[in-house]
A and B are shown apart, each in its own frame.
Chain A
Amino acid sequence: MKIIVCIKQVPDTNEVKLDPKTGTLIRDGVPSIINPDDKSGLEAALRLKDQKGAHVTVISMGPPQADAALREALAMGVDRAILLTDRAFGGADTWATSTTLAGAIKKMDYDLIITGRQAIDGDTAQVGPQIAEHLNLPQVSYVEGMEVDGQHFIFKRMFEDGYHRIKVKRPCLITTLQEMNEPRYMKVGGIFDAYREKEVEIMTLADIDVNLEHIGLKGSPTKVKKSFTKGVKSAGKVYELAPKEAADLIVDKLKEKFII
């Protein structure tokens, strides 16, 4: 069985702070991590490697620094790591990103493609399904459990109020939830291997099958018009009110903040 796991290196958004004076994001010193949903997908693949001898390839589209995320995957135990990097890929939205990744994956053998449901820096949940469409594969998203059944997989596909168990023939694509498992740590020896014995293969525009018009900023249907911060957080207002008025005020504020 051959599995391809798509991972993204993301800033740990839990560690991102706002500058209290300017209200802008402080990105310096924010650690880069493997996106949590992707890491659970990676763990799911590694368990199939442990149990069924699956061959696991991990691929990441990103800048050269994404090398560290791929080395981490190698240290966790994947067989092959590919960095898909080229200036031409920059500025891509989900449509162009999925097109680029599909262009690379097209050239590879696989029974299962795994992506995380969504990345914590974008939260779009779009790249997985869009890759599936570009590759004309069945997709199952929001996966929290999986079994192998001969040439089929059975996935536990979560909804807000329950789940479906879905049987799919290979090959297919799934998007995984962080809740699916607890990813393993890297192994000490795995880290040495990742840097001293193994390689991260580089793929560039020249190596993939893609229409130049469909990648990067130019190939992106959506554009960012502007971005802004929600404002500086500081100690809020304190009111002294009768119970009823206080309750109404809280309800109004929660509505204002879309909390209820």
Chain B
Amino acid sequence: MDFNLSKEYIMLQRMYQEFAETEVKPLAEEVDETEEFPVETVKKLARYGFMGIPFPKEFGGEGGDVLAYAMAVEELSKVCATTGVIVSAHTSLCATPIYEFGTPAQKEKYLVPLAKGEKLGAFGLTEANAGTDASSQQTTADLEGDEYVLNGSKIFITNAGYADTYVVMAMTDKTKGNKGISAFIVEKDTPGFTIGKKEAKMGIRGSATCELIFENCRIPKDNLLGTEGKGFRIAMQTLDGGRIGIASQALGIAAGALEQTVNYVKERKQFGKPIAAFQNTQFQLADMNTKVEAARLLVYKAAVQKQNKMPYSKEAAMAKLYAAEVAMEVTTKAVQLHGGYGYTREYPVERMMRDAKITEIYEGTSEVQKMVIAAHLLK
């Protein structure tokens, strides 16, 4: 057992950091302030391979692995959680299910441009009345000749409006409950498919979160992902993997806030000395650092398990549960240690605290993660 990163991961980490510092960090404040999706950043991410890290080269990917991908989301999220979730939703929730369940033709047509970053991906499962209870899907897909006709709507969809390719869940047979759900690949601009209202959010404000509306939206029969009725399984497996991405995002937010705070306490003086000299500061930082490192070990372990094709559902749930809680705790402490300045937008910890909250909610709330972990434990 070796907890050290090998040379290529160290180099990857350095490259991620250089890119994040230079290309992403300078825009983070503006992206948050304006709520504008960082279109140019996504193009740059694509150029350097960020959009296809874990996929083989034959599918346009970088020939990397899940750990390399998780580390990328972590480093991006350290400076800008919006950028982190764009990559995470694209990779884990759209490209990955096509890679894992797609036919050779679907992979050629959809995975290759996604992995190359020529196209951006999104994933549609949640509905107004089907959040944690994903099986209460209202969106339907009816087979008519060579086409499925989609009707219904999805909400809170990350990358919506900017994505070209959507993996969407819909009921092909309402009578069968979970087993009646199927997964489809829907292209943007398909007649009958429109983007609805954009949410105004607390954090990750540059990430586009919108409604997807399907009104007699006709898609080719060939765009069924997997087989009919397999949608729920695809969704659940996809979310298992997605949790590694979100856990990495949460880890990055926490690590970023810690880094900011360490710098700050060395400079900020009160009572004639840097506040780093006070034991309360030191103890807080020690707790923060320990938790960040524990979260990192959980995240990296889940990533390696998935890469090695070992069971990782429980590990991913633990990683996400813990990393999200750590993100919330560490960013809150970071704001506290910054004092009044921490509450202002002059320092990034204020944004980080707002960004952290969503990691306890999306791609399965912390409560769902506990359900998953307990189910594994008690089975």
Q: Is the CB of B15 within 8 A of A75?
A: yes
Cβ of B376 within 8 Å of any chain A Cβ, yes or no, is no
Query: Which residues of A187-238 have CB atoms within 8 Å of chain B's CB atoms?
Result: 187-196
Q: Is the CB of A185 within 8 A of B7?
A: no
Cβ of B162 within 8 Å of any chain A Cβ, yes or no, is no
Shortest Cβ gap from B42 to chain A (Å) = 15
Shortest Cβ gap from A132 to chain B (Å) = 32
Cβ of B72 within 8 Å of any chain A Cβ, yes or no, is yes
A188/B8 contact (C-beta < 8 A), A75-B15, A193-B63 known:
no
Q: What mask results when residues 70 to 102 of chain B are scored 1 for a CB within 8 Å of chain A, else 0?
A: 001000000000000000000000000000000
Residues of B within 8 A of A184 (CB): 48
Cα A173 to Cα B14 with chains together (Å): 31
Q: Is the CB of A68 within 8 A of B11?
A: yes
Q: Is the CB of A189 within 8 A of B19?
A: no
Q: Is the CB of A188 within 8 A of B53?
A: yes
Q: Is the CB of A189 within 8 A of B57?
A: yes
Residues of B within 8 A of A68 (CB): 7, 11
Q: Is the CB of A190 within 8 A of B49?
A: yes
Cα A204 to Cα B53 with chains together (Å): 36
Cβ of B64 within 8 Å of any chain A Cβ, yes or no, is yes
Cβ of A93 within 8 Å of any chain B Cβ, yes or no, is no
For the residues of A in contact with B, the DSSP-based class is: helix
Cα A72 to Cα B18 with chains together (Å): 13
Q: Is the CB of B62 within 8 A of A188?
A: yes
B15 in complex: contacting residue of A31, A188, A195, A196, CB < 8 Å: A188
Cβ of A25 within 8 Å of any chain B Cβ, yes or no, is no
Q: Is the CB of B64 within 8 A of A192?
A: yes
Q: Is the CB of B15 within 8 A of A185?
A: yes
Residue of A nearest to B8 (CB): A195
Cβ of B12 within 8 Å of any chain A Cβ, yes or no, is yes
Cα A193 to Cα B56 with chains together (Å): 12
Residues of B within 8 A of A75 (CB): 11, 15
Residues of B within 8 A of A188 (CB): 12, 15, 48-50, 53, 62, 64, 68, 72
Question: Given A31-B14, A185-B48, A193-B63, 16 other A-B contacts at CB below 8 A?
Answer: A71-B11, A75-B11, A75-B15, A185-B18, A185-B19, A187-B49, A188-B12, A188-B48, A188-B62, A189-B61, A189-B62, A189-B63, A191-B8, A192-B8, A192-B63, A194-B11
Q: Which residues of A contact B (CB under 8 A)?
A: 31, 68, 71-72, 75, 184-196
A-B contact pairs, 19 of them (CB 8 A): A184-B48, A185-B15, A185-B18, A186-B15, A187-B47, A187-B62, A188-B15, A188-B49, A188-B62, A188-B72, A189-B49, A191-B11, A191-B12, A191-B15, A192-B62, A192-B68, A195-B7, A195-B8, A196-B8
